[in-house]
Amino acid sequence: MTKTAAVTTIMRVVMGIIFVFHGIAKFQMGLSNVDAWFSSIGIPGLLAYFVALLELVGGIMLIVGLFTRSVSGLFVVMLIGAIFTTKLSAGLLGNAQSPGYELDLGFMLVSLYLAVAEQSSLSVDRLIMKKRTA
């Protein structure tokens, strides 16, 4: 495994863990509460369920390396939405009332990289590709 492949694998697994914990947090809060918060800031409440599932299931998929490019692309779209709907007004570093979007931007860039990078040899995606070419 090359250094680039190793770093890509680490990035994929760590991003997956981060998103799994974000998804779990939304389920622990209660999806109806997340729905209400989304609605209160002008986002359709139904998106709360999609976001929570994407973070939880998509995070697990990243950890194992299943549909990495597609899941990462969805995370990029979700993070762009989060930045423009909730964090842009607070600025890059945030203010006393609200955090900024610097972490979202970092997560978005890692997700964007994963969406275009070569599949790691330590992933289900690679196993699927090997079976297709055999």
Cα dist from 96 to 38, 42, 58, 84, whole Å: 21, 22, 32, 19
% the chain with pLDDT above 70:
99
Say what the pTM is. Answer: 0.92
Strand-pair partners of 99:
94
- What average pLDDT is seen over the chain? 94
The mean pLDDT of 83-107, rounded to a whole number, is: 92
Distance between CA 20 and CA 88 in Å, rounded? 24
Which band of pLDDT confidence, cut at 50, 70 and 90, is reported for residue 32?
Answer: very high
Which band of pLDDT confidence, cut at 50, 70 and 90, is reported for residue 103?
Answer: very high
Cα dist from 80 to 16, 32, 52, 132, whole Å: 18, 23, 16, 34
Please check the confidence at residue 81 and state whether its pLDDT lies above 70.
Answer: yes
Nearest Cα neighbor of 65 from 128, 107, 23, 4 is 128
Q: For residue 38, what are its two tokens?
A: 């989304």
Q: Supply the range of the domain harboring residue 81.
A: 3-133
Please check the confidence at residue 134 and state whether its pLDDT lies above 80.
Answer: no
Q: What total of structural domains would you count in the chain?
A: 1
